Amino acid sequence: MMIKFCPPLMLCACVSLLVACGGSSGDDDDSPGNPSSSSTSSSSSSANSSSSSQPSEFGAPQNLSAAPGNASVTLDWGAVSSADSYHIYYATEPNIQPDNIAAYDNGTWIEDVTPPYQITELTNGTTYYFVVTAVDGDMESDPSAEVSTTPSAVDITRQPTVYEVLVLELVNRARFDPEAEADRYDIDLNEGINGDPISSARKPPLAFNLELIEAARVHSEWMLDADVFSHTGEGGSSPTQRMDEAGYNFSGSWSSGENISWSGNSGSNINLTDAAYNHHRGLFRSSGHRLNILSTGFREIGIGHKDGYFLADGTNWRASMLTENFARSGSGYFLTGVVYEDTDEDGMYSVNEGLSGITLTVDGSSHAVFETGAYTVPLANGVYDITVSGEALGSPVNYTVEVDGANVKFDVIKSGSAVDINTW
């Protein structure tokens, strides 16, 4: 097996400052040890509260959720005892009053429906606000709590793959407990580090960004196609240029960085799960790459994991190519995490454990979880009420989190019939 790493790059800008991170060649051992699947438990774990599966007395519908789709929104809510049907009222401005729906921008209503219900022919990129009422003969209940969401034509191919989610979970595992990650790979946390040492303190989690994912994938694919392993990409591009070209908006105080790694064998197949673990292991053991992985100067990440053939040292290797693009822009923060079923009971996300069809509602605004179980929600500082819903979870899960000057990790883990929350 061949495993290679390239010295990392990091660029920071308040005015425009270039910082050399250095870095070593990493671990070139042709026979790396078996990747570890153990994980560090979250700093906070508690049983969730959930709504009853039994219908409530006749009244306003509860637990309204809105899952965005391509020019569509799917609404779901809890059953109301004795209700014959339900009316949906929606518009493109908030604070809906059903008896005056025509006065709202794009206000309209749909009568006599049952949950779940999909509304189509909506405008992508426009935020819609919804309430639902219960109907029993001539009686109509008060409206539900209002929710909002924004339909989007996000192509499923732009979402992170199971291998890319796994790599981010390994990165965030390292950020949760840097010392434990160093122990896991039999190194000292500051081995090979020149200058300021890495603190063993917990680092805020990194959140996926679709534009950074695109930039990372494009570079990984180009390196495979061109048989070139370098931070300098197609047309002489730099990592920051590639992120910018992919649509990532650098503004205010910003920073960017990149790690790249490839591994391969001389056979016709490659185990991409093993490759993901090996990439992370080698990068973390390399001092310069470790600095990027544990830097508090980044808040977002894009991971591009591609496989194919790569010509190196006269051999056409069956290869896995990885690019990690790190960035920070502006002053916003992110709620991020994974929703998964821990079928192998190892305490962390594994390939194919992510739950699909899940909606995360934050203070009434709904966000679809990626099909692979990961999600990212931009948030300002504040306290937020969260509801996580979807058929795979059974009853909705309710929780409260606080964003206070850093990203927040919020994982929802199903184990048998139980659902737990890990947050830090």
- pLDDT at position 296 is 98
- pLDDT at position 154 is 67
Domain 334-423 grouped into CATH 2.60.40.1120: yes
Domains 71-149 and 334-423 share a fold: yes
pLDDT digits (tens, 9 = 90+) for 165-204: 999 999 999 999 999 999 999 999 999 999 999 999 999 9
Where are the domains positioned within the chain? Answer: 2-39+155-333, 71-149, 334-423
User: What is the H or E stretch that residue 66 is in?
Assistant: strand 65-69
pLDDT digits (tens, 9 = 90+) for 203-253: 999 999 999 999 999 999 999 999 999 999 999 999 999 999 999 999 989
Q: Report the share of the chain in percent with pLDDT over 90.
A: 74
pLDDT digits (tens, 9 = 90+) for 290-303: 999 999 999 999 99
Predicted model pTM = 0.74
Question: Which residues, 6 or more positions from 356, have their beta carbon under 8 angstroms from its beta carbon?
Answer: 369, 371, 372, 373, 392
- Averaged pLDDT for residues 266-287: 95
What fold does the segment set 71-149 form as a domain?
Immunoglobulin-like (2.60.40)
Q: What number does CATH give the domain 2-39+155-333?
A: 3.40.33.10
Cα 258 from Cα 206, distance rounded (Å): 14
Q: Which pLDDT band, with edges at 50, 70 and 90, does 7 fall under?
A: low
Cα 337 from Cα 340, distance rounded (Å): 10
- pLDDT at position 11 is 52
- pLDDT higher than threshold 80 for residue 108: yes
- pLDDT at position 3 is 63
pLDDT digits (tens, 9 = 90+) for 121-176: 999 889 999 999 999 999 999 999 999 988 877 677 889 999 999 999 999 999 99
